[in-house]
Structure formats: C-alpha cells, structure tokens
Amino acid sequence: MTNEFRKLPSVDKLLTQPAVKTLITRHGPQLVTVAARAELTISREQIAQGAEATTIDALIKAMTNRLLGMVSSTLQPVINATGVIIHTNLGRALLSERARQAMQQVASSYSNLEYDLDGGKRGSRYLHAADLLCRLTGAEAAVVVNNNAGAVILALTVLAQGHEVVISRSQLVEIGGGFRVPDIMAQSGARLIEVGTTNRTYLRDYEGAVNTKTGLLLTIHHSNYQIIGFTAEPTLAELTSLSQKTSIPLMEDLGSGTLIDTAPFGLAHEPTIQESITAGVDIVTASGDKLLGGPQVGLILGKRSLIDEIKHHPLIRALRVDKTTLAALHATLLAYLEQRAITEIPIWQMISAPLDQLAQRAEQWRVALDTAELPSHVSLTVLDSHSTVGGGSLPGQSLPTKSLAIIGPSPDKLAMQLRQTTPPIIARIDQNRILLDPRTVLPAQDQTLISNCKAVMGQTRKRE
C-alpha cells in the first residue's frame, strides 16, 4: 500500500504536466490547483481501501471533468416539453425577442436609469414603465417593484400598517414555495380580519367588519385555485361601492397580470388589470412574468395619491428593480400598445398556437425518431392531450394539444435520461407514457429535441 501512495504525483508535479498547463491557461491556477488536490485526495482514500494508485492520465481526466463541473453554471437552459406554458419551476414566462434586445442594449452601456436628460439632474427609475402601464390600463399612476409578493407587502405596509385589513376567508391562499397571504400580511404590520366562510362570503360580511380601525378592504383573485359548488363572493362592483361609501381604499391582488382577455383562446375569462381599474379599485397588484409575459416584476397600479405614498416609502428601495428588468418590461408593454402581443410574446404565441400546427410538429418528431433504430420495447405515437397555462393562472383550465407519446417499460428512467441531455429535456409522464408537447417547445428547439431523444434511444438500444 505504501508503494501505491508513492506512485501518486505531488500537486506541484501534476501542475507541470502539459495537459494541466492547458487547463491553467483556460481556467486559471487557483481552480486547477483546487481540482488537483481534490482528485489526489480521492485517490489516497481509494488506496487506503486497497485500490491501486490512479495514473497521471486518469488524474488529469478526472481534474478536467471536475473543472467542467466547477465552471458550469447551475442555472442552465432546458427544453420545456411538459405543455405547462408558465412553468414556475422552469422560469415562468419566456421573454420576447424585443425584450431580450432591450436588456442587452441597456446592459452593455450606461443609461439614463435615474437621470433626467431634460433637466440634467437626478431622475427616477420608476418613470420608465409607468407611463406605458397607465396608457394600457387607464390607471392614474403606477410603480414597479421586484415581484408581486413584494408589491403586496409594500402596498399593505404603506396603506394598512397598524390598521385592520378585511378579507374573505376564501381568499387566504398559499402561493408557491409555501408562502401564505396571512403571513405576508403579518409582515406588513396590518391586522388580518377574516370575514365570511370558506365557500360563501357576502357584502354584508365586509360591511359588518368595517370600523374606525379599518385601513383597507382587500380582495385576492383566485388565480391558482378554484372553489366550486355552493359558493358566493361579493362582486368587484359591490366592493368598490362599499369602499367609496366608507372612504376605505379597496386593494385587489390579481396575480396573473393579464392585459388580454383569455376567453377567445378557449379558456375561461381571466380578469384583466384594465377591468379592475375601470371598476374603481384603488390599488391593483399583479405579476409581470405570468400572463403579462414579461420579466419578474410586481406591478402596483391605481390612484395617484396612493401610488405617491407607496413611491416615497423607505421599503421601496429594498424592492426596486434594476435597469435590465425595466428595459425588458418596457419592451414587453410596447408590444401590447402596438397590438403585437399575440405575435411577439412567447406565452401568447403558445396559447394561440393552432392545433393543426402542433399536430404537424409532433408528427415530424415521430417520423424523425422512427427513422432511428429504436429499442425493441419502445414505440411512438401522436395522441390527443392537453396543455395548461400554469404559473398560478387559470386553474383547472387546459388547451387541446397533440403530444408525441414514447411508450416503454420504464418511463421514469427515460424521463431521467432525457433530463441528463444537453440541454435537458423536461417531459411529462401521463398514464405510464412519456409525453412531449410541442406547444411549449420553441420551434427552433425541434432539431435539438430530436437529436437528444435519438441519443437517449441509442444508448437504451445498446444496452439491450
């Protein structure tokens, strides 16, 4: 065993090898030294367990693989073949080409982020998207923060800290990651007043809860859940009427942030921001990276006097957005203003994708994979399926689609193998079949998807 230890090179000797010098040129001496020490440590542990010493060539190969892992980003692109359009775990909404270009432009040069070009003095970053938001929604004023949870907690802090907030029990929801509305409200310093029951709340419940300590009436759209059957909730018109009668502001959290009616696409109607502003809601909050199809932001829109209070609260600095986010949001909003959202913004391209085009792409995938030498136990077929909007939007709603089904003995294993390709393919398992839905696969990714699937099938066939 002692002889085996002596066969291992020192770190210094390993770093003088020509192949390692190439690694140093590429990655720098510090990372390469870390990799060398790590691999030598592993080899010593193996020798202590009775193994032979690792050769220098094997050490260099192991170092190379380790370095690749060390410098590879943990955040990487994937192919979303699940059919879930706004997939929270896969980054939600994809940005349009115009938005990506805007981000690149503002990131690669100085900008007037907080500079007034006319006055030659300090300006405000909150001006850059506010005008477009107001034009599109009819709101008197608007401000943008880093996400919708931030928008909600900021608005509650400013408008209701130390006061009571009246909300229906049916709206005490939990959002992604286990965050709950009551907990968010508690952080704002507001006191939660629950009214009604889980399934039925009436205007009289709100009216009965209003008193001199009430600071805000709050309603939250059912964007990620459904309550069906024997149900009732006050209409927005009823709540705005109560708000005006009592002079207590009404705030609505819409969540999905849509500016387009979803009904013409075969989906249930999702309330738009414009509808809430027109109805007289004082403050509306919404996400930018759901049905709006832009970057992750929280939108706060409504009455100018309230927005001005929010803009001047110290907490807003902790929630502010950066220049690239504002650039992407501005570009996204321009697509709506120019009535190009459905053709430019990826989530709307996916929602509006014709079924015959989806069927054609799925069939092209099937034909391309059928020409490969498939494992004997694997078969392919194109079948009727359903896509979902996802991302806490339109719960229970789906769109008809055509998916490529890969039928084999171990769908879980095949799904894992697809996730290990470059880029990873994220598929859906349904009724013991792998489903690949073209609705959420970008057309430019078709050939990569086919190549990666062929590679996985080829590996499976070799093992037969």
Q: Please state the pTM of the whole predicted model.
A: 0.89
200: buried, middle or exposed (CB in 10 Å: 19+, 13-18, 0-12)? middle
Q: How many CB atoms lie within 10 A of CB 420?
A: 12
- Rounded CA-CA distance 436/121 in Å is 54
- In order of start, what are the domains of the chain with their CATH numbers? 2-71 (no CATH), 79-87+350-462 (3.90.1150.180), 94-344 (3.40.640.10)
Q: What is the pLDDT along the chain (464 residues), one digit of tens a residue?
A: 568 898 899 999 999 999 999 999 999 999 999 999 999 999 999 999 989 999 999 999 999 999 998 998 888 999 999 999 999 999 999 999 999 999 999 999 999 999 999 999 998 888 889 999 999 999 999 999 999 989 999 999 999 999 999 999 888 876 665 667 778 777 888 888 999 887 889 999 999 999 999 999 999 987 666 777 777 889 999 999 999 999 999 999 998 889 999 999 999 899 999 999 999 999 999 999 999 999 999 999 999 999 999 999 999 999 999 999 999 999 999 999 999 999 999 999 999 999 999 999 999 999 999 876 677 788 999 999 999 998 777 877 899 999 999 998 889 999 999 999 999 999 999 999 999 999 999 999 999 999 999 999 876 655 55
- Rounded CA-CA distance 446/401 in Å is 16
436: Cβ contacts below 8 Å, ≥ 6 apart: 81, 362, 365, 403, 404, 405, 406, 425, 427, 449, 453
- Rounded CA-CA distance 247/261 in Å is 31
Q: What is the dihedral of CA 82, 86, 88, 91, to 10 degrees?
A: 90
Are the C-beta atoms of residues 41 and 8 closer than 8 Å to each other?
A: no
Residue 181 confidence (pLDDT): 73
- DSSP category for residue 269: P
Q: Which residue in 338, 336, 364 sits closest to 438, CA to CA?
A: 364
Interstrand relation of 214-220 and 164-168 (parallel, antiparallel or unpaired): parallel
Q: Which residue in 258, 288, 262, 285 sits closest to 272, CA to CA?
A: 258
Token duo for residue 449: 């998807």
| DSSP structure string for 29-70 | HHHHHHHHHHHHHHHHHHHHTTPPPPPHHHHHHHHHHHHHHH
Interstrand relation of 191-195 and 164-168 (parallel, antiparallel or unpaired): parallel
Q: What order of strands is seen across the sheet that includes strand 379-390?
A: 379-390, 393-407, 433-436, 428-430
Q: Which residue in 432, 382, 374, 431 sits closest to 402, CA to CA?
A: 382
Tens of pLDDT, residue by residue over 413-436, are 999 999 999 999 999 999 999 999
- Rounded CA-CA distance 293/333 in Å is 9
| DSSP structure string for 302-319 | E-HHHHHHHHTSGGGGGG
Q: Which residue in 434, 451, 462, 444 sits closest to 81, CA to CA?
A: 434
Are the C-beta atoms of residues 295 and 289 closer than 8 Å to each other?
A: yes
